[in-house]
Structure 1
């Protein structure tokens, strides 16, 4: 089978590999679509902290069943998407149902080889029927589930005024699911094109440029109160720390971003607000189900999100092209 291998930072090779052998508890999936996310671009650029090269990337995956275990509800040809978090099922977190925070987690395409290949064999519990959702759209379920999980962590409701900082795909997913809960949503970013997309295509109520005047703008928008929920999706320690200044009294701050460095904040300011800080990692089964429900309800603008498509056979050149900011990529999807 063909697979796209990241040999080292900045070097991709389309290689031939043996078709994987399916273990008794696994489903062999013929991969059809692979979404490319920031993690993949970070791997390509050599910026990912948890990765050993060479690696087959790809964790936003949809395909069709090639082989399934005897007695499985899945049959050959069934359209499916893949949950890419391989949890151990036995650690403290897994026993509490927090499989997204498994102490021994293996994420496809990061800790082990992923789905930028023609076939992938994964545990049956990680293979989910797509129902009526087209396979190209199903390749976006995972990144959307990240945002859905963050919105759930923040306990967002229709009474909340929400600020999403960072209008990349993960921030966009948070906007979609905060709006689905009826919240008033403001988005902040340094890129005018991303802000326009968030308001025009995703239904964000307003946008704020992340410039030197952002604090004053937030005060004006919120009548001096700040936001009930702030969701950070910037992936940058500076904006993560800045976000504490946008919190209302009693607010919740959800960090979708993760960075290698420490972040700091003023304890007196945080304490007097009785604010709550949440980490948000990966997604849980109910978050994936929420994405499917909202897709089926027509609440996810999949055509607008899927801005770039190409074939796996052209991926070596496409990665270089799509990694440039001027390419204007929202979500790029490879067809396998």
Structure 2
């Protein structure tokens, strides 16, 4: 038997005893050791995640050790591993285009199917990678960083381009980090000074701007009225996503990383006169996971600063509501299983 943390309904977390899963053919049984807590988990707890049915075991930022693996593969018992949590079908139109991140039949761990806030998890071998040269804590942070890396790759940032990241939570931080690594001149915009301080102190962003009545003027001043070559939205707020269109310069691109259960509108004349490019960015691909691991190994990711909070699996039900409060200052909370 094993412990599993179940979100039975919005606001209800229950630690249950469940049977250890039996891996099917082609699956790896993992002893989960670390789980990163992200905004998706908080939306599940609040009841605002649009793709989920309760009850659900949350958790998709996963690291652990192999217990059992298919014979003849690259994995062996005891190997430290991380999980790519987007269970893609491999046959749909998106998968045939090498876009498994937006698979038409996608099953995301912790959202569409039970995830990793449990002591054991069985997943298909193709979604498990060795975590070589990094710690388990770092391995549990790969997934959220890969989302930012994917968005930056979608934007095709070139050195010297002006980049605005709206929303300096974990995903925005990831986008800002990889935009800097691509040579972008990065501005972070957020309503929380502590997050802006983090971006300045640990990511080396070029400018930080607080949200307020003078925001548009401040952004205009920073760019001599040109606004930005690339704008990323990582707010999860429909009004902020709509406002971001106005920050895209002529010939620029707007990348929506956020997912919200709402319709987003914008001014068509403004969009057309700028010949703007609008991009959605969903999840990440294996290439993005690889890029994050290489950046970690090269010392380019401030993993120690990102890892701000910790708890055991038994403590999460009590800790999570507090982590969701702004005054907690959570960047990334890591659960030990």
Which category of TM-score, normalised to the shorter sequence, fits these structures?
Answer: over 0.9
Is 2:143 the counterpart of 1:146? no
Scaled by the length of structure 1, what TM-score is found?
0.99
Deviations 1:33-85 (A, max 9, x none): 00000000110111111111110000000000000001111100000000000
Measure the CA separation in 1 of the matches of 2:165 and 2:315. 34
Deviations 1:1-26 (A, max 9, x none): 00001111111111100000011110
Measure the CA separation in 1 of the matches of 2:269 and 2:52. 38
Measure the CA separation in 2 of the matches of 1:325 and 1:228. 30
Q: Which residue does the alignment assign to 1:13?
A: 14
Q: Which residue does the alignment assign to 1:101?
A: 102
Q: Which residue does the alignment assign to 2:211?
A: 210
Aligned residue for 1:238, secondary structure, equals: helix
Q: Which residue does the alignment assign to 1:62?
A: 63
Measure the CA separation in 2 of the matches of 1:233 and 1:315. 25
Measure the CA separation in 1 of the matches of 2:130 and 2:260. 33
How far apart are residue 260 of structure 1 and its match?
1.2
Is 2:42 the counterpart of 1:41? yes
How far apart are residue 170 of structure 1 and its match?
0.2
Measure the CA separation in 2 of the matches of 1:201 and 1:25. 41
How far apart are residue 267 of structure 1 and its match?
1.0
Measure the CA separation in 2 of the matches of 1:111 and 1:202. 33
Q: Which residue does the alignment assign to 1:283?
A: 284
Deviations 1:300-332 (A, max 9, x none): 000100000111111111112212221111100
Measure the CA separation in 1 of the matches of 2:212 and 2:325. 22
Q: Which residue does the alignment assign to 1:122?
A: 123
Deviations 1:191-240 (A, max 9, x none): 11111111111111110111111111111000010100000001001111
Unaligned runs of 5+ in 2: none
Q: Which residue does the alignment assign to 1:307?
A: 308
Q: Which residue does the alignment assign to 1:331?
A: 332
Mapping 1:112-191, distance limit 5 Å: 112-191=113-192
Q: Which residue does the alignment assign to 2:80?
A: 79
Q: Which residue does the alignment assign to 1:257?
A: 258
Supply the RMSD in Å over aligned alpha carbons: 0.7
How far apart are residue 259 of structure 1 and its match?
1.1
Aligned residue for 2:98, secondary structure, equals: coil
Q: Which residue does the alignment assign to 2:233?
A: 232
Aligned residue for 2:229, secondary structure, equals: strand
Unaligned runs of 5+ in 1: none
Measure the CA separation in 2 of the matches of 1:49 and 1:267. 27
Aligned residue for 2:203, secondary structure, equals: coil
